[in-house]
Amino acid sequence: MPNSPCKADGLVAIPLELLAPAQGPEQLSMALHFGANSVYLAAPHWGMRAGARNFAEDELRAAVAQAHAAGASVHLTLNVVMDDSDIAALPAFLERMDAWGIDAAIVSDLGAMALVRKHAPHVALHVSTQASIMNARAAEEYVRLGARRIVLAREMTLAQMAALKRNLTSEVELEAFAHGSLCMAYSGRCLLSSQMMGLHRSASKGACAQPCRWEWQLVESRTPERPVPLVVDERGSYLLSSNDLCLLEHLEELREAGIDAIKVEGRSKGSYYTACVTNAYRHVLDGEPADAWLSELDAVSHRPYSTGFLFGSPMQNPGHVDYTRERRMVGVVTGCERGSDGWLVQVLCRNKAQTGSMLQVLSPKMPVRELLLEDDLVRNGETYHLHIPWPLDPLDVLCAKA
């Protein structure tokens, strides 16, 4: 648990936009509650996370209204590698998207960019990391085509980001990934999944089966009965499996390099991940020390962390494939009222927790607080009432040791 102060006078904020993922409506609410300046999400089609919950069209309209009411913007992902059938279905959707008030479209396909300009003229064009932009000349060409923001390739070093910014002649925003899963392929453009599983599991269509996380072995054709692990530990071999990215300690360096917005990867992740990671980055961007919040990032499911390509060659082989986590979400606050001896909090149970468990409480702009549970949380989906010493707001999160 971080021993972190509340935001106070004298803390120096880092002026970076915090862009958080939203797999579905619940994750959207968590991202906004815990301080995201903007959220990125997808419709059922055209996004790079086909297996995520995603948003039906009526939910997209509601999501825009909810985010705008919270002072946040909505970025819609339209960044799969598109074939003619994808392109043919876009114009009508883009016209509806424009009417809903979507703030930005994250696009990599040139044809899709042209259609956004024509059919959604009020929507800003953001060039996806799938375009692998690593130089100022490429960025300028996309600006000429109408782009307002470039999502930089994840394979860039900090020095390369700074050089690209210095060489830009136009006023264009730069966005960089700061946290989450990395891919063995260049900016996620991988053929391994579709080669092994069929075109229905194409990474370029958002349906990656993540074969890079599998236990690979070297086999010689004349002795197939004697496979050899490529990198050996007690669990197997994971040559293709990458570490996760964590740049919580380097946000000021990103700002100095000219980055305008940082992105948290995770549109396939659950509500606790969205809440916990967004909360940690929000506190540090608001001026609190990173080392006070690093342990919070260990609480969510993740592979070993690294700084990716930021300072050179990444740590690409963690030596094991399992995710680790220290905590699990046990409840979400749905209401709170003052009682005679404290506060009566309504909690929607998400996982069991027994009386006597020590819970941690996540609240925006507050340190992580501990709470001794005095009543069982038993059935997932049921509402329970807890007596606690201080008030909580709806969407505050209760979690316990995993």
What is the per-residue pLDDT across 350-378, written as a single tens digit (0 to 9) for each? 999 999 999 999 999 999 999 999 989 99
Distance from C-alpha of 190 to C-alpha of 195, rounded to nearest angstrom = 10
334 in any annotated domain: yes
Q: Are 112 and 211 contained in the same domain?
A: no
Distance from C-alpha of 30 to C-alpha of 331, rounded to nearest angstrom = 13
- By the 10 Å C-beta count (0-12 exposed, 13-18 middle, 19+ buried), 58 is classed as exposed
CA atoms within 13 A on the CB side of 294: 13
- Tell me the pLDDT band of 5, cut-offs 50, 70 and 90: very low
Range with top average pLDDT, 50-64, 160-174, 197-211, 312-326: 160-174
26 in any annotated domain: yes
Residue with tokens 């549109």: 267
Please check the confidence at residue 8 and state whether its pLDDT lies above 50. no
Please check the confidence at residue 234 and state whether its pLDDT lies above 60. no
Please check the confidence at residue 314 and state whether its pLDDT lies above 90. no
Q: Are 61 and 99 contained in the same domain?
A: yes
The structural domain count of the chain equals: 3
Q: Are 356 and 208 contained in the same domain?
A: no
The residue ranking higher by pLDDT, 193 or 22, is 22
* Tens digits of residue pLDDT in 116-174: 999 999 999 999 998 999 999 999 999 999 999 999 999 899 999 999 999 999 899 99
Widest distance between CA atoms in the chain: 78
Q: Residue 336 CB: number of other CB atoms within 10 A?
A: 19
Give pLDDT, residue 295: 94
Domain span at residue 51?
17-182+242-306
Q: Are 152 and 286 contained in the same domain?
A: yes
What CATH number does the domain containing 50 carry? 3.20.20.70
Give pLDDT, residue 194: 63
97 in any annotated domain: yes
236 in any annotated domain: no
Q: Which two tokens stand for residue 73?
A: 């913007």
Picking from 8-12, 73-77, 398-402, which range would have the lowest pLDDT averaged per residue?
A: 8-12
| Whole-number percent of the chain with pLDDT over 90 | 68
In angstroms, how far is CA 220 from the centroid of its own chain? 40
